[in-house]
Amino acid sequence: MSQTMTAPAGQRRRERRFGIFSLLVLAIMLGVFATSARGEQATFVLNDARGQLFELPNLVVTVVPAVLVLSAVVAVIAYRQFTTGFGSKAVIVVGVVALLFVMAFLTWAAAGGQLSVVGLLRGSLARATPIALGGLAGVVCERAGVINIAIEGQFLAGAFTAAVVSSLASDPWIGLLGGIGAGVLVAFMLAGLTIRFKADQIVVGVVLIVFATGVTSFLNTQVLSGNPELNSPTRFTAIAIPVLSEIPLIGPVLFRQSMLVFGMLFAVGALHYALFKTRWGLRLRSVGEHPKAADTVGINVLATRYKAVLLGGVFAGIGGAWWTLDAVGQFSREMTGGRGFIALAAMLVGRYSPVGAFGAALIFGFSDQIATSLQLLRVPVPSDLLLTAPYLVTILVVAGLMGRLRPPAANGKPYTKE
Amino acid sequence: MSDQQPPQPPPGDDDADAGRPEDAGPVAVTEAELAQAEIEAAKERAADTAAVTLDATFSQRLIAALTGTSVTVTILAFVSALVIGAFIIAVSEDAVREALGYFFARPTDAFRTGFDAVGSAYLALLQGSLGGVPQVSETLVSSTPLILTGLAVAVPLRAGLFNIGAEGQFVAGGMVAGLVGFAITGLPMVVHLPLALAAGIAAGAAYGWVPGVLKARTGAHEVISTIMLNNIGLLVSGYLISTTLFRRPDRADPISRSVEESARFPRLIWWEPSLRVNASLLVALALAVAIFWLVERSTRGFELNAVGMNPRAATAAGMSPGRSVILAMTTGGAMAGAAGAAVILGLQYRLTIGFSAGLGFDGITVALLGRGRIGGTVAAGVLIGALKAGGRNMQAQTGTSLELALVIQALIIVFIAAPGLVRAIFRIKAEDLATTQVSKGWGG
């Protein structure tokens, strides 16, 4: 007997649900992408305008056959999902289907025009930066048992302060310190109110978002609009790592970015290692899973939670500074546009792991970037609808449609020492 | 009468008091004992019917609201927020900052300019909300959607759910009410207006039903799903307003067609066209009464409260937490949808991008300020409405930006959500300042 025959009924139902998803994808691919392309051929530009070691040829695809081939693969996957199933690899297969869908979509969108792959990937990584940093802020807080939905508030505070400090000091590094300070200040309010005064963590999170939105908007109209010299920060510039940045395709994407992007990549790796491989991480996670047991063996639960929330503030503050010190270069009212909520979503989709949150942030950054790129290509797809993708994915994840989400056991519960 | 102290005299029973012997000793009737007596009396009044327990819990709550420390906390929270708001006004005023520059030479300058700035700003705030008939009209106009979005948060709060999704539900209600308002023509007002309002309420209810069902069936935390649904709602409405279905044919920018006259709420003071207060206020109050009946008087409402207080006990008593969760979220969504309809059909008459303007999020402040009670929420809605109307006047008169109202709102909830903070600031010793613990972690 093969293993799939004895698979539990729940697993079978889930696979069948995935199969329906694949069929939907297939219907869109065949019904829309294969029939309504605006040109015969799609050109993917793999080269960057700046110097590189050698030139790559442009990738030219004939639209209809390419979409048909991709559709055939999806059809095969759907057949297998309905019959034998993929067992433990089921979720990965859903990801593959989504990837095939995106490839078909891009082929259709670029039909009759040119799409810069370098620009798309480079922009995705840049846009993923604040989302990943916010996701790290969420991961470190929630692993210690404190729910942090105030990431949006930390972003706004960080962006505002970084802009003002960098303008005053004419130095992005000092501005970054200012942004970190603001993120930590909001985190301190979160920690103080929830850990010391045991206020409801979600209520406080919502309040801090309203508070940060109010204060930064108020000071923006009241102070910054009358004093533009306070709102012209010195920005980080892109740094090209010698030699590596000249590798075609991956060079400009990975090795010619601003310091904040490199910092984010380092932070993801460092936090993942620290959380899962060091004594500090074990203690932090034990406080989030079973604070009483942690207390019994002599770990200071409240101090650990305080430190975790403040560390989260550091990450979120850097994430906020990304807007004013990297991407935009000026503070404006509510400029973070709900990315703090997407960061929260990235943490959940990434299942409370730094690398997972980074992966989710990449996907969300990609959908963000595609929405912009397609406007440039004048593709008749409403960017607003594309931008709903991260939110839809998150609802599917928290509803358990992609496997059960298991938060830290003591998440959201205040701890009282007996 | 014996020489023993009588058990608590029932209210209105004067004979017990008059007939008590002089030597019975000092009578120390504390507030808690009175409250207990009131509960006992309420229980005795209707001992047999099913409504008893409901009555008792209601009177318990009423008494807690009147005699408990929660009112103190609410008032202190409001005052503290105004004081911190004053600091922010002072610091953001250019004249004050200049005076701070030579603070050590002439400190009085800084204080004087500071007091001037704060005084004139708060005076304008007060005048703009209560200073005359037009100002009161504006306060009521601002209060109408706030009462409804407040209810949208308060009802789920009673079932132990935190509905952050009022913003999205508001958008859904406003969009559909607006669509019915301008897409259908030729109907008389008695048909068209109720139809548009009902469509808005239904859309809001449907948008609230989704997180309710997700919570009941899969355990998806309502905070996460409503945050995501808010953003989806805002993006989709932005898209829809720019489509030909909604957009005004003669305009290129995203702005919808205007609602027909027959679907607009009539002004209450029709002989004075500058007063914008309209019949949607009456609808809001009527809905508040209906919600009061649902939550405080009906069997379903009793289940909802029971699930909110202790879902495990409610399940053991044969109630279905899932049903209450869906009911609470759907009802909340309906209220937010009504708020959206009230704004579109009563005030703006057309849909623009971002027409919700944070009114759904304001509902969180309103509901927490009203401590989850229906009457309290209505009162809090009027209070925050006054703050908004006054804030507009403050901005016009003294140049202090309207966003200050947002800061004050946030501070109010901070203090209400963390009574321990108020206790620490004002050195109140009472131990019974309960925290507002509404959520139970993502796992639900």
Question: How many angstroms separate the CA atoms of B380 and B374, rounded?
Answer: 10
Which residue in B has a C-alpha nearest to residue A205's C-alpha? B414
Which of residues A17 and A347 earns the better pLDDT score? A347
> Mean pLDDT over residues B416-435, rounded?
66
**C-alpha closest to that of B143 among B398, B403, B369:** B369
Which residue in B has a C-alpha nearest to residue A337's C-alpha? B231
| Domain total of chain A | 2
Note whether B206 and B217 are within 8 A (CB): no
- For residue A409, the chain B residues in CB contact (below 8 A) are 443
Please give the structure tokens belonging to residue A219: 């000071």
Q: Which of A167-171, A200-204, A391-395, B333-337 has the highest mean pLDDT?
A: B333-337
Note whether A184 and A199 are within 8 A (CB): no
Say if residue A1's pLDDT is above 50.
Answer: no
* Inter-chain CB proximity B225 and A399 less than 8 Å: yes
B273–chain A nearest CA distance, Å:
32
DSSP class of residue A401 equals B
Which of residues B114 and B189 earns the better pLDDT score? B189
Kind and range of the H or E run holding A257: strand A256-257
Give me the half-sphere count of Cα atoms (radius 13 Å) on the Cβ side of residue A177: 7
| Domain total of chain B | 1
Torsion of CA B10, B16, B18, B24, to 10 degrees: -110
Tell me the Ramachandran region of residue A294: left when phi exceeds 0, alpha when psi lies from -120 to 50, beta otherwise.
alpha
Note whether B278 and B137 are within 8 A (CB): no
Report yes or no on B437 lying in a domain: no
Please give the structure tokens belonging to residue A224: 């910054």
- For residue A189, the chain B residues in CB contact (below 8 A) are 414
Which of residues A4 and B247 earns the better pLDDT score? B247
Identify from A186, A188, A190, A197 which residue to disrupt to test chain B contact, counting B C-beta atoms within 10 A and taking the largest count. A197
**Digit-coded pLDDT (tens) for B173-229:** 999 999 999 999 889 999 999 999 999 999 999 999 999 999 888 888 888 899 899
> Mean pLDDT over residues B384-405, rounded?
87
B295–chain A nearest CA distance, Å:
22
> Mean pLDDT over residues A329-335, rounded?
88
A70–chain B nearest CA distance, Å:
29
As a whole number of Å, the end-to-end CA separation of chain B is 55
Confidence of residue B32 (pLDDT cuts 50, 70, 90): low
Please give the structure tokens belonging to residue A282: 């074990």
Query: What confidence score (pLDDT) does residue B107 get?
Result: 78
**Digit-coded pLDDT (tens) for A188-218:** 999 998 888 877 788 888 889 988 998 999 8
What count of CB pairs under 8 Å joins A to B?
A: 164
Please give the structure tokens belonging to residue B332: 């909340």
Note whether B153 and B364 are within 8 A (CB): yes
Note whether A188 and A317 are within 8 A (CB): no
Position B269, amino acid: I
Query: What confidence score (pLDDT) does residue B21 get?
Result: 42
Torsion of CA A180, A182, A187, A193, to 10 degrees: 160
Identify from B88, B217, B227, B406 which residue to disrupt to test chain A contact, counting A C-beta atoms within 10 A and taking the largest count. B227
Counting beta carbons within 10 angstroms of the beta carbon of residue A84, is it exposed (0 to 12), middle (13 to 18) or buried (19 or more)?
middle
Considering only CA atoms, give the Rg of chain B.
25
Q: Which of A197, A387, A401 is nearest residue B418 as measured by Cβ atoms?
A: A197
Query: What confidence score (pLDDT) does residue B2 get?
Result: 42
Question: How many angstroms separate the CA atoms of A393 and A373, rounded?
Answer: 21
Q: Which residues pair with A116 in a beta bridge?
A: A45
> Mean pLDDT over residues A236-246, rounded?
84
Q: Which of A200, A382, A400 is nearest residue B435 as measured by Cβ atoms?
A: A200
B9–chain A nearest CA distance, Å:
38
Please give the structure tokens belonging to residue A360: 């989710």
Question: How many angstroms separate the CA atoms of B105 and B88, rounded?
Answer: 23
Residues A239 and A299 in one domain: yes
Query: What confidence score (pLDDT) does residue B35 get?
Result: 59
Query: What confidence score (pLDDT) does residue A151 get?
Result: 95
Residues A238 and A287 in one domain: yes
**C-alpha closest to that of A111 among A56, A30, A36:** A36
Confidence of residue B20 (pLDDT cuts 50, 70, 90): very low
Residues A26 and A141 in one domain: no
Report yes or no on B283 lying in a domain: yes
Report yes or no on A414 lying in a domain: no
> Mean pLDDT over residues B257-276, rounded?
89
Helix, strand or coil, per DSSP, at residue A241: coil
Q: What is the CATH number for B189? A: 1.10.3470
Residues A246 and A310 in one domain: yes
Please give the structure tokens belonging to residue B287: 């809905």
Residues A127 and A108 in one domain: no
Domain span at B392: 133-400
Report yes or no on A118 lying in a domain: no
Residues A132 and A92 in one domain: no
Query: What confidence score (pLDDT) does residue B30 get?
Result: 58
Note whether B310 and B172 are within 8 A (CB): no
Say if residue A5's pLDDT is above 80.
Answer: no
Position B128, amino acid: G
DSSP class of residue A55 equals P
**Digit-coded pLDDT (tens) for A281-309:** 999 999 999 999 999 999 999 999 999 99
Question: How many angstroms separate the CA atoms of A86 and A17, rounded?
Answer: 13
Position B422, amino acid: V
Q: At what angle do helices B299-309 and B321-343 cross, to 10 degrees?
A: 110
**Digit-coded pLDDT (tens) for B76-89:** 888 888 898 888 88
Residues A142 and A255 in one domain: yes
Residues A267 and A172 in one domain: yes
Which residue in B has a C-alpha nearest to residue A226's C-alpha? B94
Kind and range of the H or E run holding A45: strand A41-45
Helix, strand or coil, per DSSP, at residue B255: strand
Question: How many angstroms separate the CA atoms of A209 and A215, rounded?
Answer: 10
Report yes or no on B194 lying in a domain: yes
Question: How many angstroms separate the CA atoms of B49 and B92, rounded?
Answer: 60
Q: Which of B231, B410, B439 is nearest residue A210 as measured by Cβ atoms?
A: B410
| DSSP calls for A92-148 | HHHHHHHHHHHHHHHHHHTBTSEEEHHHHHHHHHHHHHHHHHHHHHHHHHHHTT---
Question: How many angstroms separate the CA atoms of A117 and B343, rounded?
Answer: 45
Distances (CA, A) of A226 to A229, A231, B93, B100: 9, 10, 11, 19
Helix, strand or coil, per DSSP, at residue B438: coil
Q: Which residues pair with A45 in a beta bridge?
A: A116
Which of A52, A85, A112 is a domain's end point? Answer: A112
Question: How many angstroms separate the CA atoms of A192 and A206, rounded?
Answer: 15
Residues A154 and A32 in one domain: no
Which of A67, A84, A112 is a domain's end point? Answer: A112
**Digit-coded pLDDT (tens) for A114-139:** 888 888 899 999 999 999 999 999 99
* Inter-chain CB proximity A199 and B420 less than 8 Å: yes
Contacts of A369 (CB under 8 A, 6+ apart): A120, A123, A124, A127
Task: Scan for tokens 């010619």, then name that residue.
Answer: A256
> Mean pLDDT over residues A376-386, rounded?
78
Report yes or no on B304 lying in a domain: yes
Report yes or no on B18 lying in a domain: no
Report yes or no on A219 lying in a domain: yes
Kind and range of the H or E run holding A173: helix A172-191
Report yes or no on B310 lying in a domain: yes
Report yes or no on A411 lying in a domain: no
A52–chain B nearest CA distance, Å:
40
Q: pLDDT over 70 for what percent of chain B?
A: 80
Q: Which of A385-389, B269-273, B295-299 has the highest mean pLDDT?
A: B295-299
Q: Which of A86-90, A380-384, B153-157, B315-319 has the highest mean pLDDT?
A: B153-157
Residues A172 and A312 in one domain: yes
Domain span at A57: 3-112
Identify from A186, A349, A388, A416 which residue to disrupt to test chain B contact, counting B C-beta atoms within 10 A and taking the largest count. A388
Residues A78 and A139 in one domain: no
Position B270, amino acid: W
- For residue B406, the chain A residues in CB contact (below 8 A) are 210, 213-214, 217-218
* Inter-chain CB proximity B94 and A226 less than 8 Å: yes
Q: At what angle do helices B403-417 and B359-369 cross, to 10 degrees?
A: 40
Report yes or no on B79 lying in a domain: no
Counting beta carbons within 10 angstroms of the beta carbon of residue A9, is it exposed (0 to 12), middle (13 to 18) or buried (19 or more)?
exposed
DSSP class of residue B289 equals H
A30–chain B nearest CA distance, Å:
25
Torsion of CA B294, B297, B302, B304, to 10 degrees: 20
DSSP class of residue B297 equals I
A211–chain B nearest CA distance, Å:
5
Main-chain dihedrals φ then ψ at residue A299, nearest 5 degrees: -85, 135
> Mean pLDDT over residues A26-42, rounded?
84
Note whether B109 and B137 are within 8 A (CB): no
Note whether A336 and A209 are within 8 A (CB): no
Report yes or no on A227 lying in a domain: yes
Report yes or no on B367 lying in a domain: yes
Query: What confidence score (pLDDT) does residue A4 get?
Result: 45
Query: What confidence score (pLDDT) does residue B319 get?
Result: 87
Q: What is the CATH number for A303? A: 1.10.3470
- For residue B424, the chain A residues in CB contact (below 8 A) are 197
Contacts of A133 (CB under 8 A, 6+ apart): A264, A267, A315, A316, A318, A319, A322, A343
| DSSP calls for A353-383 | -HHHHHHHHHHHHHHHHHHHHHHHHT-SS-H
Residues A361 and A316 in one domain: yes
Q: Which of A197, A385, A392 is nearest residue B239 as measured by Cβ atoms?
A: A385
Question: How many angstroms separate the CA atoms of A133 and A361, rounded?
Answer: 9
